[in-house]
Amino acid sequence: MAFSQRMEIKQGQSLVMTPQLQQAIKLLQFSNVELTSFVEEELIRNPLLQRDQGDSVTADKPEKPVLEPESRSEVKLDGKAGKAAEEAVDADFESTYATSRKDAGEVSRDTGANLDWSSTGSGGRSSFESLEFGIDQLEAAKPGLHDHLYNQLSIANLDPVARMVASNLISQVEDDGYLRVNIEEEAIRLGVSKKLALDALKVLQGFEPTGICARDLKECLTLQLRERDRFDPAMQIMVDNLELLANQDMPALLEMCEVDAEDLADMVAELRALDPKPGDAFSGTTAAFVVPDVFIRETSEGGWSVELNTDTLPKVLVNSRYYAEINKSAHSEKDKTFISECHQSANWLVKSLDQRAQTILKVTTELVKQQDGFLAHGVSALRPLTLKTVADAIEMHESTVSRVTANKFVSTPRGLFELKYFFTVAIPSVNGGEGHSAEAVRHRIKGLISEETASSVLSDDRIVEILREAGVEIARRTVAKYRESMHIPSSVQRRRILKQSA
């Protein structure tokens, strides 16, 4: 067979994602913190971008303020909540970036229901009436765990070799305060004796907080008990048999510890007062402070107000006046190309930020229509909902909806929730009717178990029967999976706990 070279022309189709489109998609799935960080970097990198200060005169502002138009949507629902309404933005990220907008549509809802706002759904945060975030709500960052240990090591009376070994061990301490290493292997790696490594470890375990540098939970609790002078033989037996305590097998512990029920209760209380993760207090960062991207509030007309949190939206402008000035003064082709690229990049970023904000509003408004029952009645009224359902309703791609709901939070009268919380799989109905939300079924299971008494503990099989009587077709293994996901023990363990507390 002879090989030869030749030129051919073929016609075909392919999807090419431009750098601008990739940036727009990336912005869409950013959280508000990540978005702010990204925009700050762009402000430093691109000289044509300018922060919108509200009263700036150096930038040419558009007729409508960037990121401000249509940041609020009114939704009135009346039982026809499934009807797709016209929204603020018409375009999808995968198709075009048209800037045309439509007026938000309206449907109405029956407001005759008696609303109970005292409860919150599982997965949400405690309810609140208003959200005012001030600097007084943030605490100063604490020193990191490793810095805290190194500071104590600097004043410890150790010889250079022992200090080197201790410093190496500190570098391997995990965030929760545990040192999960093999000391013998570490001694060999460092070229020191095992005794020297153990002595260095003993010094570290004397640092604050008590229990630090423990190699497992048992050692961590032992260190704290010894400091309190409470590590007696009975307590040692309990610490050696923590699995019995976890299973609430108190009769076995009573027999092994050779104490009466009152003493055992005191021992358990002392053990539970200890800190199983002493390093958590020295994480080096402040606790995550979640700021909602969207507010959902009930209106006086009986509907819902969906409003973007403009405080989380970076406001930037393209300084067209400065662009015109430096473009005139540019002489080389390289300078002109750079200025042109900066101008194009700045315009695209402003447009992408506006598109991102309007898309979040559009998706959230549709979620309100789909999950109106949750807002009115709580978790038990959650409907099964998929990304495809929302995507079809607002004429967007499923992947776009997925990106919009990633790392975004919404404040509702029932608490603070991640947008993904409102998407739940469907549990089929016994009579073939409308399915039930998995989250609502989990909530129902938790409610049934919370009403148990020592004489009426429900097995998983019995919960299945109760749910089927209520029209929920569910398997026993599914009930067990939901129960375990909520960290609820088995019926045998619950019965034992209820009898002891009675």
Domain spans in the chain, listed from the N-terminal domain onward: 19-127+291-421, 145-282, 425-501
**Cβ pair 294, 306 in contact under 8 A:** yes
pLDDT at 141 over 80: no
The percentage of residues in the chain with a pLDDT greater than 90, rounded to a whole number, is 25
> What single-letter DSSP state applies at residue 428?
P
Among 91-95, 264-268, 436-440, the minimum mean pLDDT is found in: 91-95
| Angle between helix 333-370 and 398-405 (nearest 10) | 90
Residue 309's pLDDT is: 92
**pLDDT band at 158; cut points 50, 70, 90:** confident
pLDDT at 263 over 80: yes
Q: Which amino acid is at 250?
A: M
**Cβ pair 341, 357 in contact under 8 A:** no
Q: Which amino acid is at 118?
A: S
Closest among 81, 86, 134 to 107, alpha carbons compared: 81
Residue 464's pLDDT is: 92
| Torsion angles phi and psi, residue 269, rounded to 5 | -65, -40
The better pLDDT of the pair 477, 429 is held by: 477
Residues 475, 425: Cα–Cα separation, whole Å: 15
CB count within 10 Å of CB 481 equals 12
Instruction: Kindly report, residue by residue over 408-417, the tens digit of the pLDDT.
Output: 999 998 888 8
Give kind and range of the element (H or E) at residue 359.
helix 333-370
CB count within 10 Å of CB 64 equals 12
Residue 288's pLDDT is: 54
Structure tokens, 445 = 């299971």
3-state DSSP assignment of residue 323: helix
3-state DSSP assignment of residue 178: strand
CB count within 10 Å of CB 143 equals 12
pLDDT at 129 over 70: no
| Torsion angles phi and psi, residue 271, rounded to 5 | -65, -40
Residue 23's pLDDT is: 75
Q: Which amino acid is at 336?
A: K
CATH 1.20.120 fits 425-501, yes or no: no
**Cβ pair 294, 33 in contact under 8 A:** no
CA dihedral 295, 299, 305, 310 (to 10 degrees): -50
Residue 259, CA atoms < 13 Å, CB-side half-sphere: 18
Residues 6+ apart with CB under 8 A from 250: 261, 264, 496, 500
Residues 33, 312: Cα–Cα separation, whole Å: 8
Instruction: Kindly report, residue by residue over 445-470, the tens digit of the pLDDT.
Output: 999 998 888 888 999 999 999 999 88
Instruction: Kindly report, residue by residue over 104-117, the tens digit of the pLDDT.
Output: 333 333 322 332 32
pLDDT at 378 over 70: yes
Residue 60's pLDDT is: 47
Residues 313, 307: Cα–Cα separation, whole Å: 12
Residue 264's pLDDT is: 87
**Cβ pair 442, 485 in contact under 8 A:** yes
